[in-house]
Amino acid sequence: MADWLAFFIPWEFSLLVQISIWGSLWLYVRGLRSTDSKPGAGSILAFVLGLLLMYLVTQTHFDYWSQYMFFVHRGQHLVLHHLAPFLLALAAPVPILAAGLPGRVKDFWQQRRLARQWWRSLYAFLQHPAVACVLFVGLIYFWLTPEIHFDAMLNQRLYWLMNWSMALDGLLFWWLMLERGSGGITPRLGYGLRILLLAAIMPPQIILGARLAFSEQVWFDVYAVCGRAWPLEPLTDQQLGGLLTWIPAAMMSVIAALVVLRFLLHTPAQSAPIHANS
């Protein structure tokens, strides 16, 4: 088989990932067909690109490199936690996805009052600004704790739990930051507060990334224990991983802040959010 084709064979096939990604795409296409208020080409592109990126880093040979090379693993999390969820949130796809949802599913959900209440309060808790920031940064630190990282790389179920937690938390966080008053249950934070939060998550990521990049010691021996995808100095691997944790991750905050500024400039004064708890 041609090498480039072999790249697309999932290293570890996940039915859950396949269903989630192709299912979302199917819902989106259905929604686009049935709605009158079609989003711009940019939004559609952002949505498809976000899904595609998530698929590429989890269901291709890229996942193999992520498991056996620290810096590729950091790249995988950069996509799962920062880039792809950012694009998905930027596309604001909820109205389209909701329009694509089969009627029976909508009715079913409407009838589950308790489940909806439960989901609303859980969501409100997770999307409290302080909780959202602590979760966003905390998960990076948690999975990069050497002992935990070791087990996650050695055990397949923990590995998937790690990647799912990063992707879902990424979605929660960027959803909150890029919310545009689409009438959903996401709290509408003030634009100033959003920029403040985006700035607040930068230093902890910069510190962790820089510590990794400048460390003279190898933090994660699991890559030596399991073998690397190709021969690479452990410290070089760690330095590259540190740089990825540090620079592009922090840059995402800056890009998001610019997007929020754009919202601010293009929103009529009377519909702009006032403050966090409104």
Partner 1 sequence: MKQLIQILLLASLVGCGTGHDWHGKDISGLMPDLAFTLTDEHGDEVTAADYSGNNILIYFGFTQCPDICPTALAKLAAAMRKLPEDVQQRTVILFVSVDPDRDTPAQLGEYTAAFHPRMIGLTGSQQQLQTLTRRYRITYGYDKPDSAGQYNVSHSSAIFAFDRAQQVRLLLRDDLGVEQLYADILQLDTL
Kindly list the residues in this chain that would bind partner 1 in the complex (CB under 8 A): 64, 67-68, 147, 151, 153-158, 161, 221, 224-232
Give 235 or 251: the residue with its C-beta nearer to partner 1.
Answer: 235
Count the neighbouring beta carbons within 10 Å of the beta carbon of residue 10: 16
Give 7 or 26: the residue with its C-beta nearer to partner 1.
Answer: 7
Q: How far is CA 93 from the centre of its chain?
A: 15
Q: How far is the CB of 227 from partner 1 (least distance, A)?
A: 4
Give 149 or 194: the residue with its C-beta nearer to partner 1.
Answer: 149
From the list 123, 260, 246, the residue with the least C-alpha distance to 195 is 260
Q: How far is the CB of 83 from partner 1 (least distance, A)?
A: 26
DSSP 131-184: HHHHHHHHHHHHHTSHHHHHHHHH-HHHHHHHHHHHHHHHHHHHHHHT----SS
CB contact set of 234 (below 8 Å; sequence gap of 6+): 218, 223, 224
Structure tokens at 180: 């545009």
Q: How far is the CB of 18 from partner 1 (least distance, A)?
A: 16
Length reported for the chain: 278
Give 68 or 246: the residue with its C-beta nearer to partner 1.
Answer: 68
Cα 21 to Cα 40: distance, rounded to the nearest angstrom: 21
Q: How far is the CB of 7 from partner 1 (least distance, A)?
A: 16
Give 47 or 65: the residue with its C-beta nearer to partner 1.
Answer: 65
Q: How far is the CB of 233 from partner 1 (least distance, A)?
A: 11
